[in-house]
Amino acid sequence: MDTNCIFCKIANGEIPSKTLYEDERFRVILDLGPATKGHALILPKGHYANLYELPEEVAGETMKLAKKMAAKMTERLKCEGFNLIQNNGDLAGQTVFHFHLHLIPRYQADGQKIGWKPMEVTQEELEEIKNEIVG
Ligand code: AMP
Ligand code: ZN
């Protein structure tokens, strides 16, 4: 645990939160600045700044928990879609540097748009990029 980290304090119960789920390794809380009704965050209790620092095992458990939470929230909130979002680094929009996975229920006309502007790319460019990553 990092004593200067607000999500460490929330995850470990030192700061109260609207908790949807808790076990030895995780706490799931409602986001204080929600994108939509029910926007929640999965917080591991251990301090990992981002995906790069997250142990593989915790990464796996996070996704299993996301699946369970998505099912429960969809049933209870009657949402019609669901986004999982996870930001790493300032440039990618991360503002709290304790790994968290956003659970965002989506509704008709919820007024949110989560997306990007697609670039144009050729097959040759895709081949170069592929080689850069895995070549
Ligand atoms: P990110 O931009 O991916 O780092 O997301 C940080 C999220 O944490 C934002 O959606 C904030 O609304 C949320 N947040 C920040 N502080 C708190 C807090 N004390 N309790 C609940 N959610 C928070
Ligand atoms: Zn932390």
C-beta separation of 20 from 69 below 8 A? yes
Nearest CA to ligand 1 atom 16: 32
Q: How many CB atoms lie within 10 A of CB 40?
A: 24
* Predicted confidence band of residue 2 (pLDDT cuts 50, 70, 90): confident
Nearest CA to ligand 1 atom 3: 94
What 3 state SS string does the chain have? CCCCCHHHHHHCCCCCCCEEEECCCEEEEECCCCCCCCCEEEEECCCCCCCCCCCHHHHHHHHHHHHHHHHHHHHHHCCCEEEEECCCCHHHCCCCCCCCEEEEEECCCCCCCCCCCCCCCCHHHHHHHHHHHHC
Index of the ligand 1 atom closest to the CA of residue 35? 10
- Residue 93 CB contacts under 8 Å (≥ 6 apart), including other chains: 87
Determine the distance separating the centroid of ligand 1 and the alpha carbon of 117, expressed in angstroms: 25
* Residue entry with tokens 């986001």: 31
- Give the pLDDT mean for 15-35: 98
pLDDT digits (tens, 9 = 90+) for 66-118: 999 999 999 999 999 999 999 999 999 999 999 999 999 999 999 999 999 99
What does the block give as tokens for 100? 């968290």
Q: Does residue 100 have an active-site annotation?
A: yes
Global confidence as pTM: 0.97
End-to-end CA distance of the chain: 38
